[in-house]
Amino acid sequence: MRLHRVATRTALSLGLTLSLIFLSIIPLQAQQPADCLVRVTLLQLNDVYQFAPVELGTRGGLARVLTLKNEIQKESPNTLLLLSGDTISPSVESITYKGAQMIDAWNAIGLDYSVFGNHEFDFGPDELLKRMQESKFKWLAANVIDKKTGRPFGGAEPFVIREFDGVKVGLFGLTLEETKTTSRPGPDVEFLSPCETARKMVTELHSRGAKTVVALTHLSMSEDKEVARCAEVDVIIGGHEHTLLESSSGGAPIFKMNADARDLGEINLNISKTTGAVESIDWKVIPVTSAIKDDVSFAAINRKYGAIMKELAQVVGRTTVELEARSAAGRTGETNVGDFIADSFRAAMGADVGLINGGSIRADELIRPGVLTSRNVLSILPFKNRVVKIEVDGATLRQALEHGVARTAEDAEPGRFPQVSGVRFTFDATRPAGSRIVDLAMTGRNPVFDPNKKYTIATNDYIALDGGDGYAVLKSGRLLTPRERAPFDSDVVRAAIVKQKRIAPRVDGRIKRLDLARKQTTDCN
Ligand SMILES: [Zn+2]
């Protein structure tokens, strides 16, 4: 048994040096007759944030996945549909439904098991509990423990054993430890070491007669490799990276599919009926495309969420350039999306200055050139803040901008970072907070900045009226647009795109950071 395992591992690591989609592992021992093998098919998805197709309908879509699943199940009756986590958040739909729309979709396509992704905790543990109660499938969570009970969170199972034609297959779930800090699981949920947990799970599953062990994980690839090295798992069905990855470590292959069901992984475990151990593995990655018909039984979900899906799919315009909507970028420096939003605010409200805090700009992705839909706009500005116009003196405007850059060197992603229009400034983040702006000018007809002059600012009510992200200084401003009559931020930006039809915003250097420029020069030397 030990020798056989080593032989399999060698074969595996050799096989995986090829970047292929299909692989068969031939153990060195004599081939078993085919009738002694039990085939168990694992269908894999991970990081699925919307059930509708993506990329303008060309890829993904859970209705198509259901069609594929039914076809595969006809050929291979021992089929399990697995989700390696991240589905409840983030998405535009989840702003309204908090992930319930995804649970509906998973129930409709007959998901068997899911592991928690880090994003499952984004709305807090209570909301996740509700989603779990709505789930017709089982959640597996060996290392996500409720401190009060010592058991997996929310009644999830640490593992499950399924029997197919007399062979037992064990599955267990593992989630990123960093979920503790990157999401909102609350103080009562702890995340145990994936490696140690995996070791315990394998011992437990083997002792219960399951010689074939599947780890359903939502970990980084390096952690998956560690799990494969420290525990005798046969295959890792993983997620989190959002790109197609096939690796191997410790003799176990590790699979991760593209996000949003662009591909369906089909992993066939050929298990010996005599020993119950995996003899070989075949796999392929099936692109989920518009060539695959929707399963009709999914129509009920499309009807239930039809109104919002139709609204989100509306074409607003096009971008001919990549739109930088990644959080870290918009919270540390000028971005083309920040410029476009601030410009739109200023133009729509007829103000001297446009201003938005980087933390109000979401999406957290690079949006590729092409068609822009309502979904894109709402993913960038999901909060439905109002765009108000206030009047302040120049000194207050300067203070607000100083506040905006006061944490740029100190925090990794300070939400207060100002994206601006109508004004240009240079700052040095190595200077004391409050006196970092070394140069400030207006971009209008009169570029001279005057601390005593009155300026109007178009900005969101979150920072202008609620003092959000610490912008209390703006509260002293005179409100020129009543909040209830002010337009929504997403509507303002949407209208600006509709008006221009084709946008190509570019960073024009309205915000300059001196210390970074210095650093880059030094790095280059
Ligand atoms: Zn994740």
What does the block give as tokens for 377? 């706009």
C-alpha 501 – ligand 1 centre gap (Å) = 34
- Asked whether the bond before 414 is cis by omega within 30 degrees of 0, the reply is no
H/E segment holding residue 48: none
pLDDT at 395: 98
C-alpha 70 – ligand 1 centre gap (Å) = 28
C-alpha 111 – ligand 1 centre gap (Å) = 19
Give the rounded percent of residues in the chain with a pLDDT score beyond 90: 84
Decide: residue 453, CB within 10 A, 0-12 exposed, 13-18 middle, 19+ buried. middle
C-alpha 218 – ligand 1 centre gap (Å) = 6
C-alpha 405 – ligand 1 centre gap (Å) = 30
C-alpha 77 chain-centroid distance:
32
pLDDT grade for 327, boundaries at 50, 70 and 90: confident
C-alpha 278 – ligand 1 centre gap (Å) = 29
- Residue with structure tokens 């399963």? 295
- Residues in CB range of 276: below 8 A, 6 or more apart: 167, 168, 209, 210, 211, 212
What does the block give as tokens for 363? 């999406």
Pairing state of beta strands 144-146 and 151-152?
A: antiparallel
pLDDT at 519: 66
End-to-end CA distance of the chain: 57
Nearest residue to 244 via CA among 264, 217, 215: 264
Q: What is the pTM of this model?
A: 0.78
C-alpha 337 – ligand 1 centre gap (Å) = 25
C-alpha 116 – ligand 1 centre gap (Å) = 9
- Residue with structure tokens 């291979």? 76
C-alpha 445 – ligand 1 centre gap (Å) = 48
Q: Mark 325-358 as b/e (b = at least 16 C-beta within 10 Å).
A: bbbebbbbbbbbbbbbbbbbbbbbbebbbbbbbb
Over the stretch 436-464, which tens digit does the pLDDT of each residue have?
999 999 998 899 999 999 999 999 999 99
- Residues 232 and 205: beta-carbon distance below 8 Å: no
Q: Roughly what angle, to the nearest 10 degrees, separates helices 194-207 and 221-230?
A: 40
Residue 34 has pLDDT above 60, yes or no: no
pLDDT at 56: 81
Range 312-331 average pLDDT: 95
pLDDT at 35: 57
Range 303-307 average pLDDT: 95
C-alpha 87 – ligand 1 centre gap (Å) = 9
C-alpha 115 – ligand 1 centre gap (Å) = 11
C-alpha 141 – ligand 1 centre gap (Å) = 15
E-only strand ranges, 186-299? 189-191, 212-218, 235-237, 245-249, 252-256, 263-272, 278-287
Counted residue by residue, the chain has a size of 525
C-alpha 183 – ligand 1 centre gap (Å) = 10
